[in-house]
Amino acid sequence: MTAWLFLLPLPLGFLLDLCFGDPHWMPHPVRAIGWLIARLERLLRGLFPKTPKGERLAGVFLAVLVPLFTSGAGVLLLWAAYALHPGLWFVLETLLCYQLLAAKALRVESMKVYDRLRANDLPGARQAVSMIVGRDTQALTEEGVTKAAVETVAENTSDGEIAPLLFLALGGAPLGLFYKAVNTMDSMVGYKNERYLYFGWAAAKLDDVLNWIPARLSAWLLVVSAYLLGMDGRNAARIYKRDCRKHASPNSAQTEAACAGALRVQLAGDAYYFGTLYKKPTIGDNLRPICTEDIRRANRLLYAASFLALALLLVMRLGIGILGGWLCI
């Protein structure tokens, strides 16, 4: 198999995701990772004392075992496929790249919220947005629903698309699976509530570390995308620099700030989670009221940033390959 063919699974997977998204009938590695996390949580909670120290130690074991097992399974599957036939490896690697990306699924789910709002169906919009956010949605106003959808698209520009692209470009499907395992752990156990304050600590910290570079890369790609799409690129850069740290997480406000600036709206602020009000700073300036159409604009930013990231990472991967070839001469 030529070196060029090792570059193809990533762009092919990217295009497959844009075309087909996440068909619910297809087995998906994230669902398998979620099953593994749930089973290991039950096992580890039974093995360790129900004390803060015991729960934190159990969470450390979870944070180590899940990504190692997930990426190890990917290595074994790809090795076995290559041993049978290089073409089988190519198909499996492409399929995994496709399944680890989420631009189309994010657009589809957020546009369900858009469609419900356009139809003046606020209860339906609340239900639709509840499928993609962690906050309580039953009492959200139309503005609150719209903000929640835009924030989710902005945050997942990094978590769901550009971060996986980066890890896939650096280490193929096994490293992409490693990242996805950590990200899924954080979404399942990385809460600062009574159940997960100690148990989910290690998963949340590991997710923060892995997303530090991708979040900042994604934010700057959103700024560039704002310029390319005729949005307010200058304001995107200004708000990003000012508000990128306005979140308890070191990464979550990065892309939200860039998106808020590009759209000239204000995001974030107080929100309810599991019935408890959490006070949060706002991100961006309220230069105009947020509107339903901003969900569509946020998705345009997502797609533009994704194409820019793919081009950048393919050039990077090609450059690494050429450099490696020179070093071997």
Residue 184 confidence (pLDDT) above 50: yes
What total number of domains does the chain contain? 1
Q: Taking the CB of residue 204, how many other CB atoms lie within 10 A of it?
A: 20
Domain residues for the domain of 102 are 3-328
Residue 234 confidence (pLDDT) above 80: yes
Higher pLDDT residue, 321 or 81?
A: 81
Q: Over range 308-323, report the average pLDDT.
A: 82
Going by pLDDT thresholds of 50, 70 and 90, the confidence category of residue 193 is confident
Q: Over range 244-270, report the average pLDDT.
A: 91
Going by pLDDT thresholds of 50, 70 and 90, the confidence category of residue 328 is very low
Q: Cβ distance 266 to 284 under 8 Å?
A: yes
Q: What percent of the chain has pLDDT over 90?
A: 80
pLDDT value of residue 272:
73
Calpha distance 115→186 (Å, rounded):
30
Residue listed under structure tokens 């307010």: 232
Mean pLDDT over each residue of the chain, to the nearest integer: 92
**62 vs 36, 193, 204, CA distance in Å?**
10, 18, 11
Going by pLDDT thresholds of 50, 70 and 90, the confidence category of residue 277 is confident
Which backbone phi and psi does 25 adopt, to 5 degrees?
-80, -15
pLDDT value of residue 4:
64
Q: Taking the CB of residue 174, how many other CB atoms lie within 10 A of it?
A: 21
Helix/strand/coil (H, E, C) string of the chain? CCHHHHHCHHHHHHHHHHHHCCCCCCCCHHHHHHHHHHHHHHHHHHHCCCCHHHHHHHHHHHHHHHHHHHHHHHHHHHHHHHHHCHHHHHHHHHHHHHHCCCHHHHHHHHHHHHHHHHCCCHHHHHHHHHCCCCCCCCCCCHHHHHHHHHHHHHHHHHHHHHHHHHHHHHHHHHHHHHHHHHHHHHHHHCCCCCCCCCCCHHHHHHHHHHHHHHHHHHHHHHHHHHHHCCCCHHHHHHHHHHHCCCCCCCCHHHHHHHHHHHHCCCEECCEEECCEEECCCEECCCCCCCCCHHHHHHHHHHHHHHHHHHHHHHHHHHHHHHHHHHHHC
pLDDT value of residue 311:
95
Calpha distance 221→244 (Å, rounded):
14
Residue 245 confidence (pLDDT) above 70: yes
pLDDT value of residue 25:
80
Q: Which residues lie across from 268 on neighbouring strands?
A: 282
Residue 37 confidence (pLDDT) above 60: yes
Residue listed under structure tokens 């406000």: 253
Report the candidate in 203, 214, 261, 216 with the shortest Cα–Cα distance to residue 235: 261
Q: Cβ distance 261 to 227 under 8 Å?
A: no
Q: Cβ distance 266 to 294 under 8 Å?
A: no
Residue listed under structure tokens 């706002």: 282
Q: Over range 55-77, report the average pLDDT.
A: 97
Q: Cβ distance 221 to 77 under 8 Å?
A: no
Q: Taking the CB of residue 251, how many other CB atoms lie within 10 A of it?
A: 24
Q: Lowest-pLDDT range, 76-80, 136-140, 257-261?
A: 136-140
Going by pLDDT thresholds of 50, 70 and 90, the confidence category of residue 326 is low
Q: Over range 127-156, report the average pLDDT.
A: 91
Q: Over range 168-180, report the average pLDDT.
A: 96
Q: Over range 124-137, report the average pLDDT.
A: 89
**260 vs 27, 118, 148, 294, 315, CA distance in Å?**
35, 21, 12, 10, 29
What are 73-89's pLDDT values in tens digits? 999 999 999 999 999 99
Instruction: Give the length of the chain.
Output: 329
Q: Is the dihedral of CA 114, 268, 129, 28 positive or negative?
A: positive
